[in-house]
Structure 1
Amino acid sequence: MILVDHDSNGVGQRKAEAAARRFHAEGRRVRLALPPVPDTDFNDILRAGKAAEIPHA
């Protein structure tokens, strides 16, 4: 599981997708999780005490 930064410029998503491709090429199963709000990451959500608002996959 890769917890992706939801950057509005897309950098976090592109880096996470590149890492996922590398892991997949090594035979690993990979899932990406993206926070629902742009310009946040999961640490922001946890620190704000809003972990219950994270959608479950």
Structure 2
Amino acid sequence: MRHLTRQFAIGALRRGRGIEQFLGGADVGGERAVRWVNAGVAGHDYLDYLRAT
């Protein structure tokens, strides 16, 4: 697995690219799930999503 460094994340977001990072497994409501974060740029704002599915 590749680790997302701060420098890589900042560079990608400055270029208008989105980034994702796997955060590991989780137990959500008694069921197994996968967690990850997804961040991107919309105009001059940053969007971020944390998901467990």
- Taking structure 1 as the reference length, the TM-score comes to 0.31
Q: Which has the higher contact order (CA 8 A, sep 6+)?
A: 1
The structure with the greater share of residues assigned to helix is 1
Structure number with greater Rg is 2
The structure with the greater share of residues assigned to strand is 2
